Amino acid sequence: MNDLRPIVTVHGLWNRGPEAWMLRRRLRHLTGRPVVQFRYPSVSGDFADNAGRLAGMLERDGGPTDLVGHSLGGLLVLEAIRRADPAAVGRVVLLAAPVQGSAAARRLLAMSRGGGRIIGRSASVLAGGVDLSVAEGLEVGMIAGSGAKGMGRILGAMTGVHDGTVGLDETRFEGLADHIVLPVTHTGMLFSDAVARAVAEFLRDGRFGR
């Protein structure tokens, strides 16, 4: 794999990418590689259309591209790599992506008729999860948080270990090459040096350092 190829980061719900500036800066420093942001309309855009755009970008780049997706962005990454030619995909790190569906999203939808408008057109995906099939040979790692402060806790939706928005159990599936839990919140992981180092380790080695 060409180590000078860009790393692509994919933001989560209600975001556009600036919130992950520190993560991108740290990854550039740790890997020596360019880091670019894939932006998409997380509320108004159709999930399948957004995934199709990301898959198309991967295939146009003409080689294996490493991806880092936060929360809804992680779900988008999983759908995009399912659609794309596996040869276009490098290693993938998901940050607190609720692959099994989000209890916080389901609670918000149940509490208010406006919940669907707040979450937007990816509501069904956030509530129910995504197709978890991963092409053979692709390496996908997950970083979950245990910081326990955030929207999901306020809504009363969280049980067990969680990062305040996404539960630990919501981040696990059999197709993962590796999974770790760090003491960070859902948004705080974007500013965490430990998270950035773990991402860089997985992109380099296909597993997290312990």
Query: Is the separation of the CB atoms in 71 and 40 below 8 Å?
Result: no
* 154 pLDDT higher than 80: no
Q: How far apart are CA 124 and CA 2, in angstroms?
A: 37
Mean pLDDT lowest among 10-14, 35-39, 107-111, 154-158: 154-158
Q: What is the pLDDT of residues 128-138, one digit of tens each?
A: 988 888 888 89
Q: What are phi and psi of 115, to 5 degrees?
A: -60, -40
Instruction: Return left, alpha or beta for 94; rule: phi > 0 is left, psi -120 to 50 is alpha, else beta.
Output: beta
Token readout for 26 is 């740290």
Q: What is the pLDDT of residues 93-106, one digit of tens each?
A: 999 999 999 998 88
Q: What are phi and psi of 159, to 5 degrees?
A: -135, 160
Domain locations along the chain:
7-205
Q: How far apart are CA 98 and CA 169, in angstroms?
A: 9
- How many C-beta neighbours within 10 Å does residue 124 have? 14
Q: What is the pLDDT of residues 107-126, one digit of tens each?
A: 888 876 666 778 888 888 98
| Strand ranges across the sheet with 35-38 | 35-38, 7-10, 65-70, 89-95, 140-145, 178-182
CATH number for the segment(s) 7-205: 3.40.50.1820
Mean pLDDT lowest among 92-96, 107-111, 157-161, 178-182: 157-161
pLDDT of 159: 74
For the chain, how many helices (H) and strands (E)? 8, 6
Q: What is the pLDDT of residues 64-80, one digit of tens each?
A: 999 999 999 999 999 99
Reduced to 3 DSSP states, what percent helix, strand and coil does the chain have, rounded to the nearest 5? Answer: 40, 15, 40
